[in-house]
């Protein structure tokens, strides 16, 4: 126990130094956290149980998505979700297809190829939520567009995960339909509660005591996230909807009280993420993973540009949307883990690890240096830019 405490203390000091380096270089600390986890996992054993790693990682993602949900009211979220359905459909077609096709070209069986399609489809809610906070973009005009795409992706997982689980175990049609119905019903119920009863939930939590608010909010987040996960819906979606449901003074107090915990568990999540990747398994699949990463980075950027354009966002915001959505992460690893546990294609795990690592590192860098996307996007979109009144952001493009 003493050794574990010492190691954790040293890890905290190292991560603090990495955060300072990240701020001085103007880069999100996420790549530094990931590399730190990779290095620790490579140079020696780190004796933490898988359950401990999974718990810390899940709490990190849950808090990140909860804090993101606090930035939006129920009305804003409901409107954004409705408007985001066409973009969500385009996202599915453009980003699921490359993984599916490459899996089939590699000679994998159809179920393994469908798994790879899911891995390439889903963006990382955890990484993107942290990026938006790090780069101070939570209030940007394009952020609701990013948010609606992420939520639609996570809700799509409520259908995808039970379906893929049934295919892997060869379940009956009746059991598959039952699992899908439960997951979809839970997602719809959570949405309705968040959108219609947010005010009542906020009033029930509100109290003069910060301690009472902190405990009530934390308990509600974890309980809803846990129920959502148990019913086949993403825990991240459950936490996000809790954030959307809270409003008024209690939302502001929750933001202040939970921000330090969010940053702590976010760091733990990204370090553990890197720690869970077996570096020795990467070389054999690296070439294919790079090709897949390049293709799906382009398709995800095309999705983001088109979605932001459809929402009336200017070219700079479109470029930020395109770059921010590139990162893949926790959900892709979960999908690969399901396939590996079921004895699917042997290269699926290493392939997913290499692919996710590439885009988890590239995503934050692209989100920071997005300017080069603007001329490419405007040229391909057949638009020319006009200077806005303020001079710092182009106005809407003239077709």
Domain ranges of the chain: 59-372
Structure tokens at 339: 């396939």
Q: Output the pLDDT for position 44.
A: 58
Q: What is the tens place of the pLDDT at every residue in 355-392?
A: 988 998 899 889 988 989 999 888 876 544 433 333 34
Between 3.40.830.10, 3.90.1150.10, 3.90.950.10, 1.20.1530.20, what CATH number should domain 59-372 receive? 1.20.1530.20
pTM over 0.85: no
Separation of alpha carbons 352 and 302, rounded Å = 22
Q: What is the tens place of the pLDDT at every residue in 97-118?
A: 999 999 999 999 899 999 999 9
Which SS3 state, helix, strand or coil, does residue 74 take?
helix
Residues 288 and 350 sit within 8 Å (Cβ to Cβ): no
How many other CB atoms sit within 10 Å of the CB of residue 12?
Answer: 13
Q: Output the pLDDT for position 397.
A: 39
Residues 301 and 373 sit within 8 Å (Cβ to Cβ): yes
Give the residue-averaged pLDDT of 184-207. Answer: 81
Provide the CA 257 distance to its chain's centre, in angstroms.
Answer: 23
Separation of alpha carbons 356 and 361, rounded Å = 8
User: For residue 311, what is the DSSP state?
Assistant: T
Confidence at 50, pLDDT banded by 50, 70, 90 = low
Separation of alpha carbons 108 and 95, rounded Å = 18
Q: Output the pLDDT for position 280.
A: 78
Q: What is the DSSP string of 220-278?
A: HHHHHHHHHHHTTS-HHHHHHHHHHH--HHHHHHHHHHHHHHHHHHHHHHHHHHHHT--
């Amino acid at each position: 126990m003493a050794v574990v405490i010492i190691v954790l203390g040293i890890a905290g000091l190292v991560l603090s130094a990495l955060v300072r380096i990240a701020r001085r270089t103007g880069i999100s600390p996420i790549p530094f956290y990931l590399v730190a986890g990779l290095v620790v996992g490579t140079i020696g054993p780190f004796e933490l149980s898988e359950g401990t790693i999974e718990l810390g990682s899940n709490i990190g993602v849950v808090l990140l998505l909860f804090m993101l949900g606090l930035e939006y009211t129920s009305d804003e979220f409901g409107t954004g979700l409705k408007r985001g359905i066409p973009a969500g459909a385009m996202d599915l077609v453009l980003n699921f297809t490359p993984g599916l096709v490459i899996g089939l070209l590699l000679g994998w069986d159809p179920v393994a190829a469908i798994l790879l399609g899911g891995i390439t489809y889903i963006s990382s809610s955890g990484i993107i939520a942290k990026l938006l906070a790090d780069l101070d973009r939570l209030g940007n005009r394009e952020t609701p567009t990013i948010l609606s795409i992420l939520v639609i992706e996570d809700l799509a997982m409520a259908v995808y995960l039970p379906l893929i689980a049934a295919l892997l175990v060869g379940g009956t049609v009746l059991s598959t339909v039952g699992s899908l119905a439960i997951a979809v019903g839970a997602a719809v119920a959570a949405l309705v509660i968040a959108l219609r009863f947010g005010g009542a939930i906020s009033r029930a939590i509100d109290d003069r005591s910060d301690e009472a608010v902190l405990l009530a909010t934390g308990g509600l987040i974890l309980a809803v996230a846990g129920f959502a996960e148990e019913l086949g819906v993403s825990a991240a979606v459950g936490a996000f909807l809790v954030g959307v449901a809270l409003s008024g003074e209690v939302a502001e107090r929750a933001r202040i009280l939970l921000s330090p915990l969010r940053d702590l568990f976010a760091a733990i999540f990204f370090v553990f993420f890197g720690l869970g990747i077996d570096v020795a398994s990467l070389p054999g699949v690296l070439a294919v993973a790079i090709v897949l990463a390049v293709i799906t980075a382009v398709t995800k950027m095309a999705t983001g540009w088109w979605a932001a354009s459809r929402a009336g966002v200017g070219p700079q915001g479109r470029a930020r949307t395109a770059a921010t959505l590139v990162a893949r992460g926790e959900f892709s690893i979960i999908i690969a883990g399901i396939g590996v546990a079921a004895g699917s294609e042997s290269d699926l795990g290493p392939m997913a690890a290499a692919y996710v690592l590439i885009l988890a590192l590239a995503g934050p860098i692209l989100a920071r240096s997005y300017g080069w996307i603007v001329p490419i996007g405007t040229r391909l979109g057949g638009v020319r830019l006009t200077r806005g009144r303020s001079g710092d952001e182009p106005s809407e493009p003239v077709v």
